Structure 1
């Protein structure tokens, strides 16, 4: 069931004979936008269907509201805002479907390595790792996602994450 259609905002839009204040419409619209955001937590197909049905129902109201010769200017303005919001959310969802790599999962855990370096003699291990990083960098065989060669700082950062250590500034080692 489409909870967006059962909001106070939609009922205010659907009753053009009922007198409504800007504050009341603004509050109802604010709650509607929050509900639109929570709809996005479902699976993509359900969200897209919900947004499509909401868009259709809002579009059906437009001719009725716009023919009342200025009496419903407030409703018409909020209706157009709602249509723009639903359209924007649909576009965003379609982008998420087409390019999922650009939208990281909100509940994904950051990488934490089980590997640690124990420093018996403070700088020697870090210097050895820095030499490995530099050697890997000089091969030119490590690339970024976009196909460009990785820079030394990116490789050093990966080693820091992998071994739970900190080079400081790799150029100072």
Structure 2
């Protein structure tokens, strides 16, 4: 039996609120990934069904048994239906997010096929934007990560340097 989409989205919202409360009490160290996916001169941004609803880079939390690059691959498959084989390391960002100390490992990849299969419970929308024409309402880490991506972009440098 398939759980209705509205109920799955509500479960993500409740889980997000519970996680924020846990982070407020515990103030843990947390690791996550943010992924810059490019299709030629376009970049993919997503809107989640929970938390901050501004346009953001896709990503997710690193599991205990994973390294960050594995998380990037897993999250893109789960959320977007995209399989990425070659990641380029961009940077690590340190941030205080929802009372936890967050280390965001940032990666970039060129996609071969821009077609997406969204996890509709987790993502409200996903859209390819021209790199120089981003929407006004973006998450707080989007512009700094993309600025780093523009400088270090593998396709511009002409080199391959998997993380």
Q: Per the shorter chain, which TM-score range?
A: under 0.3
Bigger radius of gyration:
1
Q: Say which structure is richer in strand.
A: 2
Tell which has more relative contact order, 1 or 2 (C-alpha 8 A, sep 6+): 2
| Structure ranking higher in helix proportion | 1
- Normalization by structure 1: what TM-score? 0.24
- Scaled by the length of structure 2, the TM-score of the pair is 0.25
